[in-house]
Structure 1
Protein backbone atom coordinates (compact mmCIF):
# COMPACT_ATOMS: atom_id res chain seq x y z
CA UNK A 1 0.00 0.00 0.00
CA UNK A 2 2.98 2.34 0.35
CA UNK A 3 2.39 5.50 -1.64
CA UNK A 4 -1.09 4.52 -2.83
CA UNK A 5 -3.96 6.94 -2.47
CA UNK A 6 -7.33 5.78 -1.19
CA UNK A 7 -10.71 7.32 -0.53
CA UNK A 8 -12.88 5.70 2.15
CA UNK A 9 -16.48 6.73 2.75
CA UNK A 10 -18.21 6.35 6.10
CA UNK A 11 -14.83 6.56 7.81
CA UNK A 12 -16.06 8.33 10.93
CA UNK A 13 -16.70 5.15 12.88
CA UNK A 14 -17.06 1.38 12.77
CA UNK A 15 -15.95 -0.51 9.68
CA UNK A 16 -15.08 2.65 7.73
CA UNK A 17 -12.71 3.84 10.45
CA UNK A 18 -11.13 0.39 10.65
CA UNK A 19 -10.58 0.33 6.88
CA UNK A 20 -8.97 3.77 6.93
CA UNK A 21 -6.67 2.77 9.81
CA UNK A 22 -5.70 -0.50 8.14
CA UNK A 23 -4.84 1.08 4.80
CA UNK A 24 -2.88 3.88 6.45
CA UNK A 25 -1.01 1.38 8.62
CA UNK A 26 0.12 -0.31 5.41
CA UNK A 27 1.42 2.95 3.97
CA UNK A 28 -1.51 4.36 2.00
CA UNK A 29 -2.55 7.99 2.10
CA UNK A 30 -6.24 7.85 2.95
CA UNK A 31 -8.83 10.52 2.29
CA UNK A 32 -11.29 9.69 5.07
CA UNK A 33 -14.77 10.97 4.34
CA UNK A 34 -17.93 11.12 6.38
CA UNK A 35 -21.00 13.31 6.59
CA UNK A 36 -20.00 14.36 10.11
CA UNK A 37 -16.53 15.82 10.57
CA UNK A 38 -15.90 14.87 14.21
CA UNK A 39 -15.07 11.19 13.69
CA UNK A 40 -12.79 11.64 10.70
CA UNK A 41 -10.93 14.53 12.31
CA UNK A 42 -10.22 12.37 15.37
CA UNK A 43 -9.15 9.55 13.06
CA UNK A 44 -6.83 11.84 11.11
CA UNK A 45 -5.14 12.97 14.30
CA UNK A 46 -3.89 9.39 14.74
CA UNK A 47 -1.99 9.61 11.43
CA UNK A 48 -0.56 13.07 10.91
CA UNK A 49 1.14 13.34 7.49
CA UNK A 50 4.47 14.99 6.87
CA UNK A 51 4.45 18.17 4.80
CA UNK A 52 5.80 16.27 1.80
CA UNK A 53 3.27 13.46 2.14
CA UNK A 54 0.46 15.96 2.50
CA UNK A 55 1.28 17.16 -1.01
CA UNK A 56 1.34 13.60 -2.33
CA UNK A 57 5.04 13.77 -3.08
CA UNK A 58 6.37 11.15 -0.70
CA UNK A 59 5.87 7.47 -0.18
CA UNK A 60 6.33 5.51 3.03
CA UNK A 61 4.36 5.92 6.22
CA UNK A 62 0.64 6.23 5.69
CA UNK A 63 -1.52 9.21 6.53
CA UNK A 64 -5.19 10.07 6.91
CA UNK A 65 -6.70 13.37 5.79
CA UNK A 66 -10.34 14.17 6.69
CA UNK A 67 -12.88 15.43 4.17
CA UNK A 68 -16.48 16.12 5.17
CA UNK A 69 -18.68 14.62 2.44
CA UNK A 70 -22.27 13.46 2.08
CA UNK A 71 -22.40 10.60 -0.42
CA UNK A 72 -26.02 11.44 -1.28
CA UNK A 73 -24.90 14.78 -2.72
CA UNK A 74 -23.48 14.13 -6.20
CA UNK A 75 -21.98 17.60 -6.55
CA UNK A 76 -20.27 17.36 -3.17
CA UNK A 77 -18.81 13.97 -4.06
CA UNK A 78 -17.45 15.33 -7.32
CA UNK A 79 -15.91 18.33 -5.55
CA UNK A 80 -14.24 16.24 -2.84
CA UNK A 81 -12.81 13.74 -5.34
CA UNK A 82 -11.42 16.64 -7.37
CA UNK A 83 -9.95 18.27 -4.25
CA UNK A 84 -8.35 15.00 -3.13
CA UNK A 85 -6.87 14.44 -6.59
CA UNK A 86 -5.43 17.95 -6.78
CA UNK A 87 -3.95 17.81 -3.29
CA UNK A 88 -2.74 14.22 -3.09
CA UNK A 89 -2.74 12.85 -6.63
CA UNK A 90 -4.94 10.39 -8.56
CA UNK A 91 -6.83 7.83 -6.51
CA UNK A 92 -5.74 4.20 -6.64
CA UNK A 93 -8.38 2.83 -4.27
CA UNK A 94 -12.03 3.55 -3.45
CA UNK A 95 -13.75 1.81 -0.54
CA UNK A 96 -17.49 2.42 -0.18
CA UNK A 97 -18.46 1.91 3.46
CA UNK A 98 -20.99 4.67 4.20
CA UNK A 99 -24.33 3.16 5.15
CA UNK A 100 -27.44 3.61 7.26
CA UNK A 101 -29.92 1.17 8.76
CA UNK A 102 -33.64 1.85 9.21
CA UNK A 103 -35.13 -1.40 10.58
CA UNK A 104 -38.82 -2.16 10.43
CA UNK A 105 -41.41 -4.51 8.92
CA UNK A 106 -41.03 -4.57 5.15
CA UNK A 107 -44.67 -3.65 4.48
CA UNK A 108 -44.66 -0.81 7.00
CA UNK A 109 -41.56 1.14 6.01
CA UNK A 110 -42.13 4.82 5.34
CA UNK A 111 -41.25 6.46 2.05
CA UNK A 112 -38.56 8.41 3.90
CA UNK A 113 -36.99 5.30 5.42
CA UNK A 114 -36.89 3.56 2.05
CA UNK A 115 -35.65 6.61 0.17
CA UNK A 116 -33.00 7.59 2.71
CA UNK A 117 -31.67 4.04 2.90
CA UNK A 118 -31.25 3.75 -0.86
CA UNK A 119 -29.84 7.29 -1.11
CA UNK A 120 -26.91 6.38 1.14
CA UNK A 121 -26.41 2.64 0.66
CA UNK A 122 -26.94 2.38 -3.10
CA UNK A 123 -26.99 5.81 -4.75
CA UNK A 124 -24.05 6.89 -2.62
CA UNK A 125 -21.99 4.04 -4.08
CA UNK A 126 -23.03 5.14 -7.56
CA UNK A 127 -21.99 8.74 -6.87
CA UNK A 128 -18.52 7.86 -5.59
CA UNK A 129 -17.78 5.21 -8.21
CA UNK A 130 -18.90 7.49 -11.02
CA UNK A 131 -16.59 10.22 -9.74
CA UNK A 132 -13.56 7.94 -9.34
CA UNK A 133 -13.80 5.19 -11.97
CA UNK A 134 -13.09 7.21 -15.16
CA UNK A 135 -9.75 8.42 -13.81
CA UNK A 136 -8.77 4.90 -12.77
CA UNK A 137 -9.74 3.53 -16.18
CA UNK A 138 -7.73 6.21 -17.97
CA UNK A 139 -4.62 5.28 -15.96
CA UNK A 140 -5.20 1.55 -16.48
CA UNK A 141 -5.30 0.58 -12.81
CA UNK A 142 -7.33 0.88 -9.63
CA UNK A 143 -9.45 -1.04 -7.17
CA UNK A 144 -12.97 -0.37 -5.94
CA UNK A 145 -14.45 -2.28 -3.01
CA UNK A 146 -18.01 -1.85 -1.80
CA UNK A 147 -18.77 -3.00 1.73
CA UNK A 148 -22.18 -4.61 1.42
CA UNK A 149 -23.87 -7.08 3.77
CA UNK A 150 -24.67 -10.76 3.95
CA UNK A 151 -28.27 -9.56 4.24
CA UNK A 152 -28.04 -8.75 0.52
CA UNK A 153 -27.98 -12.48 -0.23
CA UNK A 154 -30.12 -13.93 2.57
CA UNK A 155 -33.54 -12.51 3.55
CA UNK A 156 -33.69 -10.93 6.99
CA UNK A 157 -36.74 -9.86 8.95
CA UNK A 158 -36.95 -6.13 9.76
CA UNK A 159 -34.20 -5.36 7.22
CA UNK A 160 -36.12 -5.07 3.95
CA UNK A 161 -34.84 -1.65 2.89
CA UNK A 162 -31.32 -2.27 4.14
CA UNK A 163 -30.98 -5.67 2.46
CA UNK A 164 -32.47 -4.43 -0.83
CA UNK A 165 -30.19 -1.39 -0.92
CA UNK A 166 -27.10 -3.48 -0.21
CA UNK A 167 -28.11 -5.94 -2.93
CA UNK A 168 -28.43 -3.05 -5.37
CA UNK A 169 -25.02 -1.68 -4.40
CA UNK A 170 -23.42 -5.11 -4.78
CA UNK A 171 -24.83 -5.71 -8.26
CA UNK A 172 -23.92 -2.21 -9.41
CA UNK A 173 -20.34 -2.80 -8.24
CA UNK A 174 -20.14 -6.08 -10.14
CA UNK A 175 -21.58 -4.56 -13.32
CA UNK A 176 -19.07 -1.74 -13.04
CA UNK A 177 -16.34 -4.32 -12.63
CA UNK A 178 -17.38 -6.05 -15.84
CA UNK A 179 -17.29 -2.79 -17.78
CA UNK A 180 -13.92 -1.74 -16.34
CA UNK A 181 -12.15 -5.10 -16.45
CA UNK A 182 -10.32 -4.49 -19.75
CA UNK A 183 -9.01 -1.20 -18.37
CA UNK A 184 -7.32 -2.96 -15.46
CA UNK A 185 -9.68 -1.68 -12.76
CA UNK A 186 -11.00 -4.30 -10.34
CA UNK A 187 -14.34 -4.01 -8.52
CA UNK A 188 -15.32 -6.33 -5.67
CA UNK A 189 -17.71 -6.56 -2.74
CA UNK A 190 -17.07 -7.48 0.88
CA UNK A 191 -20.24 -8.73 2.58
CA UNK A 192 -19.95 -8.65 6.38
CA UNK A 193 -22.26 -10.44 8.74
CA UNK A 194 -22.91 -9.27 12.27
CA UNK A 195 -20.04 -6.99 13.26
CA UNK A 196 -19.48 -5.23 16.57
CA UNK A 197 -20.32 -1.68 15.52
CA UNK A 198 -22.66 1.03 16.74
CA UNK A 199 -25.11 0.06 13.99
CA UNK A 200 -25.15 -3.55 15.17
CA UNK A 201 -25.53 -2.66 18.83
CA UNK A 202 -28.50 -0.43 18.02
CA UNK A 203 -30.36 -3.64 17.12
CA UNK A 204 -29.61 -5.26 20.49
CA UNK A 205 -32.47 -4.37 22.80
CA UNK A 206 -32.05 -6.93 25.57
CA UNK A 207 -29.20 -8.76 27.33
CA UNK A 208 -29.73 -11.95 25.30
CA UNK A 209 -29.41 -10.29 21.87
CA UNK A 210 -25.77 -11.27 21.33
CA UNK A 211 -26.51 -14.87 22.29
CA UNK A 212 -29.26 -15.04 19.68
CA UNK A 213 -26.87 -13.66 17.05
CA UNK A 214 -24.28 -16.32 17.84
CA UNK A 215 -26.65 -19.26 18.38
CA UNK A 216 -29.39 -18.38 15.91
CA UNK A 217 -33.01 -17.35 16.41
CA UNK A 218 -35.77 -19.52 14.90
CA UNK A 219 -38.32 -16.78 15.57
CA UNK A 220 -36.69 -14.61 12.90
CA UNK A 221 -35.55 -17.50 10.67
CA UNK A 222 -31.92 -16.83 11.42
CA UNK A 223 -29.06 -19.29 11.71
CA UNK A 224 -26.23 -18.57 14.11
CA UNK A 225 -22.55 -17.96 13.46
CA UNK A 226 -20.69 -21.28 13.11
CA UNK A 227 -17.38 -19.76 14.20
CA UNK A 228 -19.03 -18.73 17.45
CA UNK A 229 -17.87 -15.13 17.50
CA UNK A 230 -19.09 -11.79 16.23
CA UNK A 231 -16.80 -10.01 13.81
CA UNK A 232 -14.70 -7.03 14.79
CA UNK A 233 -14.43 -4.12 12.34
CA UNK A 234 -10.79 -5.06 11.78
CA UNK A 235 -11.88 -8.45 10.40
CA UNK A 236 -13.76 -6.66 7.62
CA UNK A 237 -10.93 -4.19 7.07
CA UNK A 238 -8.46 -7.04 6.56
CA UNK A 239 -10.68 -8.51 3.84
CA UNK A 240 -10.82 -5.10 2.15
CA UNK A 241 -7.03 -4.80 2.40
CA UNK A 242 -6.61 -8.13 0.63
CA UNK A 243 -8.97 -7.21 -2.21
CA UNK A 244 -7.35 -3.83 -2.91
CA UNK A 245 -3.84 -5.27 -2.75
CA UNK A 246 -1.82 -6.89 -5.52
CA UNK A 247 -2.41 -10.25 -3.83
CA UNK A 248 -5.89 -10.04 -5.38
CA UNK A 249 -4.76 -8.79 -8.78
CA UNK A 250 -6.72 -11.51 -10.61
CA UNK A 251 -9.91 -11.11 -8.57
CA UNK A 252 -12.76 -8.92 -9.79
CA UNK A 253 -16.59 -8.93 -9.70
CA UNK A 254 -16.54 -11.15 -6.62
CA UNK A 255 -18.49 -10.96 -3.36
CA UNK A 256 -16.53 -12.10 -0.33
CA UNK A 257 -18.70 -13.04 2.64
CA UNK A 258 -17.01 -12.28 5.95
CA UNK A 259 -19.61 -13.55 8.39
CA UNK A 260 -18.13 -16.51 10.28
CA UNK A 261 -20.17 -18.89 8.14
CA UNK A 262 -23.54 -17.41 9.14
CA UNK A 263 -25.01 -17.66 5.65
CA UNK A 264 -23.75 -21.23 5.22
CA UNK A 265 -22.03 -20.37 1.93
Structure 2
Protein backbone atom coordinates (compact mmCIF):
# COMPACT_ATOMS: atom_id res chain seq x y z
CA UNK A 1 0.00 0.00 0.00
CA UNK A 2 1.31 3.43 -0.94
CA UNK A 3 1.43 5.80 2.00
CA UNK A 4 0.25 9.36 1.32
CA UNK A 5 2.75 11.97 2.49
CA UNK A 6 1.18 14.84 4.40
CA UNK A 7 2.70 18.13 5.47
CA UNK A 8 0.64 18.04 8.65
CA UNK A 9 0.22 21.82 8.50
CA UNK A 10 -3.57 21.86 8.36
CA UNK A 11 -5.00 23.74 11.33
CA UNK A 12 -1.65 24.95 12.64
CA UNK A 13 -1.13 28.64 13.28
CA UNK A 14 1.79 29.96 11.21
CA UNK A 15 3.34 33.35 11.93
CA UNK A 16 5.05 34.88 8.89
CA UNK A 17 7.11 38.08 9.03
CA UNK A 18 7.67 40.22 5.93
CA UNK A 19 4.43 38.90 4.46
CA UNK A 20 3.44 42.03 2.50
CA UNK A 21 5.29 41.11 -0.69
CA UNK A 22 8.02 39.05 -2.31
CA UNK A 23 9.14 35.84 -0.63
CA UNK A 24 7.18 36.58 2.55
CA UNK A 25 3.89 36.89 0.68
CA UNK A 26 4.63 33.67 -1.21
CA UNK A 27 5.45 31.84 2.03
CA UNK A 28 2.23 33.03 3.66
CA UNK A 29 0.19 31.91 0.65
CA UNK A 30 1.93 28.54 0.41
CA UNK A 31 1.40 27.77 4.10
CA UNK A 32 -2.25 28.79 3.81
CA UNK A 33 -2.74 26.47 0.83
CA UNK A 34 -1.51 23.63 3.05
CA UNK A 35 -4.28 24.45 5.52
CA UNK A 36 -2.32 26.54 8.00
CA UNK A 37 -3.99 29.49 9.70
CA UNK A 38 -1.63 32.31 8.76
CA UNK A 39 -0.82 35.30 10.94
CA UNK A 40 0.73 37.55 8.30
CA UNK A 41 2.87 40.39 9.66
CA UNK A 42 4.71 43.35 8.16
CA UNK A 43 5.27 47.09 8.65
CA UNK A 44 3.71 47.72 5.23
CA UNK A 45 0.01 47.81 6.13
CA UNK A 46 -1.22 48.37 2.57
CA UNK A 47 0.89 45.58 1.11
CA UNK A 48 -0.11 43.30 3.97
CA UNK A 49 -3.77 43.96 3.33
CA UNK A 50 -3.35 43.02 -0.33
CA UNK A 51 -1.39 39.88 0.51
CA UNK A 52 -3.94 38.65 3.02
CA UNK A 53 -6.78 39.56 0.69
CA UNK A 54 -5.38 37.28 -2.01
CA UNK A 55 -5.08 34.40 0.45
CA UNK A 56 -8.60 34.72 1.80
CA UNK A 57 -10.00 35.15 -1.71
CA UNK A 58 -8.73 31.63 -2.40
CA UNK A 59 -10.68 30.34 0.58
CA UNK A 60 -7.71 29.97 2.91
CA UNK A 61 -7.34 31.38 6.42
CA UNK A 62 -5.15 34.42 7.10
CA UNK A 63 -5.22 37.55 9.23
CA UNK A 64 -3.07 40.67 9.01
CA UNK A 65 -1.08 42.02 11.96
CA UNK A 66 1.07 45.11 11.57
CA UNK A 67 4.43 44.40 13.16
CA UNK A 68 7.79 46.15 13.34
CA UNK A 69 10.19 43.30 14.13
CA UNK A 70 12.82 45.76 15.38
CA UNK A 71 10.66 46.53 18.44
CA UNK A 72 10.82 43.63 20.93
CA UNK A 73 7.93 44.96 23.01
CA UNK A 74 5.72 45.15 19.94
CA UNK A 75 6.76 41.62 18.97
CA UNK A 76 5.56 40.29 22.33
CA UNK A 77 2.30 42.24 22.14
CA UNK A 78 1.47 41.07 18.62
CA UNK A 79 2.37 37.47 19.42
CA UNK A 80 0.12 37.54 22.47
CA UNK A 81 -2.70 38.88 20.29
CA UNK A 82 -2.12 36.25 17.59
CA UNK A 83 -2.27 33.42 20.12
CA UNK A 84 -5.36 34.87 21.77
CA UNK A 85 -7.19 35.32 18.47
CA UNK A 86 -5.95 32.38 16.39
CA UNK A 87 -4.38 29.88 18.78
CA UNK A 88 -0.87 28.74 19.70
CA UNK A 89 1.76 29.44 17.06
CA UNK A 90 3.08 26.15 15.72
CA UNK A 91 5.12 27.50 12.80
CA UNK A 92 7.31 30.58 12.48
CA UNK A 93 8.70 31.82 9.17
CA UNK A 94 11.18 34.67 9.61
CA UNK A 95 11.17 36.35 6.20
CA UNK A 96 11.31 40.09 6.94
CA UNK A 97 14.50 41.61 5.56
CA UNK A 98 16.01 44.79 4.15
CA UNK A 99 18.87 45.49 1.77
CA UNK A 100 21.37 48.33 1.57
CA UNK A 101 24.13 48.10 -1.03
CA UNK A 102 27.38 49.92 -1.66
CA UNK A 103 31.12 49.65 -1.08
CA UNK A 104 32.14 49.17 2.55
CA UNK A 105 34.00 52.49 2.55
CA UNK A 106 30.78 54.27 1.61
CA UNK A 107 28.27 52.48 3.86
CA UNK A 108 26.77 54.89 6.37
CA UNK A 109 26.33 54.04 10.03
CA UNK A 110 22.57 54.46 9.54
CA UNK A 111 22.43 51.95 6.68
CA UNK A 112 24.53 49.42 8.59
CA UNK A 113 22.29 49.71 11.64
CA UNK A 114 19.11 49.54 9.56
CA UNK A 115 20.16 46.28 7.93
CA UNK A 116 21.14 44.63 11.21
CA UNK A 117 18.07 45.97 13.01
CA UNK A 118 15.74 43.99 10.75
CA UNK A 119 17.85 41.10 9.48
CA UNK A 120 19.47 40.20 12.81
CA UNK A 121 17.77 41.95 15.73
CA UNK A 122 14.34 41.29 14.22
CA UNK A 123 15.06 37.60 13.73
CA UNK A 124 16.34 37.43 17.30
CA UNK A 125 13.32 39.21 18.82
CA UNK A 126 10.69 37.19 16.98
CA UNK A 127 12.48 33.86 17.34
CA UNK A 128 13.09 34.37 21.06
CA UNK A 129 9.45 35.24 21.72
CA UNK A 130 8.15 32.29 19.70
CA UNK A 131 10.77 29.86 21.06
CA UNK A 132 9.70 30.56 24.64
CA UNK A 133 6.14 29.57 23.81
CA UNK A 134 7.01 26.61 21.60
CA UNK A 135 9.47 25.18 24.13
CA UNK A 136 6.85 25.34 26.87
CA UNK A 137 4.47 23.40 24.62
CA UNK A 138 7.27 21.07 23.47
CA UNK A 139 6.28 21.46 19.84
CA UNK A 140 6.96 23.74 16.88
CA UNK A 141 9.01 24.50 13.80
CA UNK A 142 10.87 27.67 12.88
CA UNK A 143 12.36 28.55 9.49
CA UNK A 144 14.50 31.63 8.90
CA UNK A 145 15.05 32.90 5.36
CA UNK A 146 18.60 34.18 4.93
CA UNK A 147 20.63 34.28 1.68
CA UNK A 148 23.33 32.41 -0.18
CA UNK A 149 25.27 35.68 0.25
CA UNK A 150 25.75 34.65 3.89
CA UNK A 151 28.37 32.14 2.75
CA UNK A 152 29.65 33.61 -0.54
CA UNK A 153 31.29 37.07 -0.50
CA UNK A 154 29.51 39.63 -2.69
CA UNK A 155 30.91 42.98 -3.69
CA UNK A 156 28.89 45.96 -2.43
CA UNK A 157 26.77 43.68 -0.22
CA UNK A 158 28.85 43.55 2.97
CA UNK A 159 26.12 44.73 5.35
CA UNK A 160 23.50 42.42 3.88
CA UNK A 161 25.85 39.41 3.69
CA UNK A 162 27.12 39.91 7.25
CA UNK A 163 23.59 40.25 8.60
CA UNK A 164 22.43 37.08 6.87
CA UNK A 165 25.48 35.17 8.13
CA UNK A 166 24.65 36.32 11.65
CA UNK A 167 21.01 35.25 11.43
CA UNK A 168 22.08 31.89 9.99
CA UNK A 169 24.46 31.23 12.89
CA UNK A 170 21.88 32.43 15.40
CA UNK A 171 19.20 30.12 13.98
CA UNK A 172 21.46 27.08 14.21
CA UNK A 173 22.44 27.89 17.80
CA UNK A 174 18.79 28.33 18.72
CA UNK A 175 18.01 25.02 17.06
CA UNK A 176 20.53 23.28 19.30
CA UNK A 177 19.09 24.85 22.43
CA UNK A 178 15.44 24.02 21.75
CA UNK A 179 15.89 20.58 20.18
CA UNK A 180 15.37 18.92 23.55
CA UNK A 181 12.02 20.69 23.80
CA UNK A 182 10.73 19.19 20.55
CA UNK A 183 11.23 22.36 18.51
CA UNK A 184 12.99 22.38 15.14
CA UNK A 185 14.81 25.36 13.58
CA UNK A 186 16.15 25.46 10.03
CA UNK A 187 17.36 27.97 7.46
CA UNK A 188 16.43 28.54 3.82
CA UNK A 189 19.08 30.48 1.89
CA UNK A 190 17.80 31.80 -1.45
CA UNK A 191 19.89 33.19 -4.24
CA UNK A 192 18.64 35.80 -6.70
CA UNK A 193 14.84 35.74 -6.54
CA UNK A 194 12.37 37.76 -8.60
CA UNK A 195 11.24 40.19 -5.90
CA UNK A 196 11.04 43.98 -5.53
CA UNK A 197 14.29 43.77 -3.53
CA UNK A 198 16.17 42.18 -6.44
CA UNK A 199 14.63 44.46 -9.04
CA UNK A 200 15.71 47.49 -7.02
CA UNK A 201 19.30 46.48 -7.72
CA UNK A 202 18.90 46.61 -11.51
CA UNK A 203 20.01 49.86 -13.11
CA UNK A 204 19.35 48.80 -16.72
CA UNK A 205 18.02 45.97 -18.87
CA UNK A 206 21.34 44.16 -18.55
CA UNK A 207 20.75 43.55 -14.83
CA UNK A 208 18.76 40.31 -15.10
CA UNK A 209 21.14 39.00 -17.77
CA UNK A 210 24.15 39.66 -15.55
CA UNK A 211 22.50 37.69 -12.75
CA UNK A 212 22.01 34.71 -15.07
CA UNK A 213 25.34 34.85 -16.88
CA UNK A 214 27.54 36.13 -14.07
CA UNK A 215 29.73 39.19 -13.68
CA UNK A 216 33.43 38.30 -13.83
CA UNK A 217 34.48 41.82 -12.88
CA UNK A 218 32.67 41.25 -9.56
CA UNK A 219 33.98 37.68 -9.18
CA UNK A 220 30.43 36.41 -9.43
CA UNK A 221 29.31 33.31 -11.34
CA UNK A 222 25.90 33.04 -12.93
CA UNK A 223 23.09 30.60 -12.21
CA UNK A 224 23.75 27.08 -13.56
CA UNK A 225 20.04 26.29 -13.86
CA UNK A 226 19.68 29.32 -16.11
CA UNK A 227 16.79 31.03 -14.36
CA UNK A 228 16.10 33.45 -11.55
CA UNK A 229 14.10 31.87 -8.73
CA UNK A 230 10.47 32.73 -8.23
CA UNK A 231 9.21 33.52 -4.72
CA UNK A 232 7.23 30.27 -4.93
CA UNK A 233 10.47 28.30 -5.38
CA UNK A 234 11.69 29.61 -2.04
CA UNK A 235 8.30 29.25 -0.37
CA UNK A 236 8.21 25.54 -1.27
CA UNK A 237 11.45 24.99 0.63
CA UNK A 238 10.11 26.87 3.66
CA UNK A 239 6.90 24.82 3.66
CA UNK A 240 8.89 21.59 3.48
CA UNK A 241 11.12 22.46 6.45
CA UNK A 242 8.15 23.71 8.49
CA UNK A 243 6.15 20.57 7.80
CA UNK A 244 6.01 17.06 9.21
CA UNK A 245 7.85 15.91 6.08
CA UNK A 246 10.97 17.40 7.71
CA UNK A 247 10.12 16.06 11.15
CA UNK A 248 13.67 14.77 11.80
CA UNK A 249 15.49 17.74 10.27
CA UNK A 250 16.89 20.56 12.39
CA UNK A 251 19.96 22.88 12.39
CA UNK A 252 20.12 22.62 8.59
CA UNK A 253 20.53 25.20 5.83
CA UNK A 254 18.78 24.56 2.52
CA UNK A 255 20.22 26.67 -0.31
CA UNK A 256 17.72 27.56 -3.06
CA UNK A 257 19.79 29.35 -5.68
CA UNK A 258 19.84 27.27 -8.87
CA UNK A 259 23.46 26.35 -8.15
CA UNK A 260 24.74 29.94 -8.06
CA UNK A 261 26.88 29.28 -4.97
CA UNK A 262 28.27 26.14 -6.62
CA UNK A 263 27.07 24.03 -3.73
CA UNK A 264 28.85 26.18 -1.15
SS of the residue corresponding to residue 154 of structure 1 reads coil
Number of the residue aligned with 2:3? none
Q: Does 1:195 align with 2:193?
A: yes
Which residue is 2:207 aligned to?
209
- Aligned match of 2:129: 131
Partner of 1:36: 44
Corresponding residue to 2:80 among 63, 79, 82: 82
User: Is 1:232 aligned with 2:217?
Assistant: no
Matched-pair contact (CA < 8 Å) for 1:193–1:260: yes
Please give the alpha-carbon distance, in whole angstroms, between the structure 2 residues aligned to 1:47 and 1:36: 17
User: Which of 8, 24, 27 is residue 32 of structure 2 equivalent to?
Assistant: 24
Q: Following TM superposition, where does structure 1 have runs of at least 4 consecutive aligned residues deviating by more than 3 angstroms?
A: none
Deviation at 1:107, TM superposition (A): 2.2
Counterpart position of 2:139: 141
Structure 1: state its 5+ residue gaps.
Answer: 50-60
Secondary structure of the corresponding residue to residue 178 of structure 1: helix
CA distances 1:177-233 after superposition (whole Å, capped 9, x unpaired): 000011110000000000000000011111111111111110111001000000000
Describe the SS at the equivalent of 2:56. coil
TM-score when scaled to structure 1? Answer: 0.94
Q: Quote the offset at 1:176 in angstroms.
A: 0.1
Distance 2:210 2:44 in 1: 32
Asked whether 1:112 is paired with 2:110, we answer yes
Of 61-70 and 103-112, more deviation after overlay is shown by: 61-70
Query: Secondary structure at 1:92's aligned position in 2?
Result: strand
TM-score normalised over the length of structure 2 = 0.95
1-structure distance, mates of 2:227, 2:235: 17
Report Cα offsets for 1:41-92 as digits up to 9, x if no partner. 112222339xxxxxxxxxxx63110000000011111100000001111100
Report the count of equivalent residues: 254
Q: CA RMSD in A?
A: 1.0
**2:161 and 2:55 mapped to 1: Cα distance?**
34
**Distance between the aligned counterparts of 1:243 and 1:87, measured in 2?**
25
Question: 1 CA distance for matches of 2:204 and 2:54?
Answer: 34
